Structure 1
């Protein structure tokens, strides 16, 4: 599933195509999955933002001034296999037409969602409504993260909850925990562990965004940028997808287990559970 680096890369790529443009229509055949999209017709895209793993298109009347507040938001969640494309594909689910051209939402497995809502009305999206701070933002504070981590429970499911920090999914949780030398099932992190993890989350996310995210495999359902190009961060993975390969730090084979129903990759030597 696309995580923060992939969604941020998508945002940066499509922003020049949408910002300042007027949406003429959004065409699809699944109103239960793409809700109230007709409300976007005739609206100008003031900005293309991101919150965690969600894209937010801020919409306003065409004659609204640059500084006027937006009055609608088009929320996009890419799901497991969603992404925008410049050309129609066999798995195009939504066609977004602006006064400058068309952009296509490609989603082989059909888990992606769109919804037009009033600004901040995320009642139907509880994860977005309760999301924690952005990992690369000023609101992601070390002291607060250390305080929360002292009673986190198993640390990987805690990260995946999106409450301590937004946008971290399975790939980047495994990678950050490896960098921090913390086992994913470790509970109640001490201040030193929490501090290492805080910096690891920030470092991994920054590097992954700079690399355009991670593209795994070659299938149609795997993440690609809007022009079909893959991300490059997969070449920097130390544990995710590396089961059986030697740890880059100690040479011990990377192990794959299941934690909270998620495939989890660790180095058995570098990431021992502290009892």
Structure 2
């Protein structure tokens, strides 16, 4: 499943091709993806200008000039391909080549210069698109209750202390809870916990004092989260499946993982002689260093 940096990479890749353009036609080649398309979807967006491309958590937001927003999710295997004249490229910087078989091209945005097309391809069809009023976006079921972005100023140690106080669930599970922080996924949680030298198994509430203040470990964690997300966005994402970005290049942040998927490798913390281990928490792989992640 693409994580926040992958979706942000897709957004940045699509923006130059889509922002300011008019949707001359929305071609729906089937009636549904994960869910049915909105009723009269193609007619509702025809002739609308795309004013901005945004992102909230793992959702792509295509803002239109009538106050409506196309909310899109990539699911497990979704990707966008930009075709402008004779050029073609696929947005999103990922590990393996993206599927480009035309049989999986399910949605086509025909844009205003008559040559540009943005094509959504999704072999597994776990992605979706829906139309939501921008003014009511945060009340929509997809966004209601989401925590702050890991890149935003509202994420700080004091905020996490209010969320973690008294919690007995593991620190990793608390970080994956989208109500606490929006958009964090398994890869980046593992990496951030390693950077902060925090045990993924420790109860989240142990990082909060009886007075409700963040302990040192929680203060280390926030910049670790920010840094690992920023580096992944800069590198273009890291999902280990079949995604690629608009200029066709493949991702490379996965090659700089410090802990994720490195079972049996030496820990990269200076002075640590530990070995990366793997465990399973709530059905997901956790990668960590037992020697230095004891906090």
| TM-score category of the 2 structures, normalised to the smaller one | 0.7 to 0.9
State which of 242, 256, 259 in structure 1 corresponds to 2:278. 256
| SS in structure 2 of the partner of residue 129 of structure 1 | coil
Q: Is the 8 A contact 2:273 2:291 kept in 1?
A: no
Q: Which segments of 5 or more consecutive residues in structure 2 lack a partner in the other structure?
A: 83-87, 89-98, 209-214
Q: Distance in 1 between matches of 2:261 and 2:183?
A: 19
Corresponding residue number in structure 2 for 1:96 = 109
- 1:33 Cα deviation (Å)? 4.1
Matches within 5 A, 1:156-171: 156-171=172-187
Change (3 A) 1:84 1:251: farther
Corresponding residue number in structure 1 for 2:61 = 56
Corresponding residue number in structure 2 for 1:67 = none
State which of 141, 147, 156 in structure 2 corresponds to 1:141. 156
Q: Distance in 1 between matches of 2:130 and 2:5?
A: 22
Do structure 1's residue 9 and structure 2's residue 5 form an aligned pair?
no
Q: Distance in 1 between matches of 2:25 and 2:166?
A: 48
- The aligned length equals 260
- 1:53 Cα deviation (Å)? 0.7
Q: CA RMSD in A?
A: 2.1
Matches within 5 A, 1:179-218: 179-187=195-203, 188=205, 189-190=207-208, 191-216=215-240
Q: Is the 8 A contact 1:72 1:118 kept in 2?
A: yes
Do structure 1's residue 105 and structure 2's residue 120 form an aligned pair?
yes
Q: Is the 8 A contact 1:81 1:110 kept in 2?
A: yes
State which of 252, 256, 264 in structure 2 corresponds to 1:232. 252
Q: What CA deviation, in whole Å up to 9, does each residue of 1:98-147 have, x standing for no partner? A: 11310111222221111112224458963422211111212223321233
Q: Distance in 2 between matches of 1:95 and 1:202?
A: 35
Corresponding residue number in structure 2 for 1:34 = 37
Q: Distance in 1 between matches of 2:105 and 2:15?
A: 20
Change (3 A) 1:143 1:124: closer
Q: Distance in 2 between matches of 1:149 and 1:123?
A: 23
Change (3 A) 1:265 1:210: same
Q: Which segments of 5 or more consecutive residues in structure 1 lack a partner in the other structure?
A: 61-69
- 1:223 Cα deviation (Å)? 2.2
Q: Is the 8 A contact 1:149 1:194 kept in 2?
A: no
Q: Distance in 2 between matches of 1:124 and 1:108?
A: 30
TM superposition score normalised by structure 2: 0.81
Q: What CA deviation, in whole Å up to 9, does each residue of 1:159-199 have, x standing for no partner? A: 11212221110110111111111122211123112111111
TM superposition score normalised by structure 1: 0.87
Higher relative contact order structure (alpha carbons within 8 Å, sequence separation ≥ 6): 2
| SS in structure 2 of the partner of residue 12 of structure 1 | helix
Q: Is the 8 A contact 1:215 1:233 kept in 2?
A: no
Q: Distance in 1 between matches of 2:233 and 2:138?
A: 29
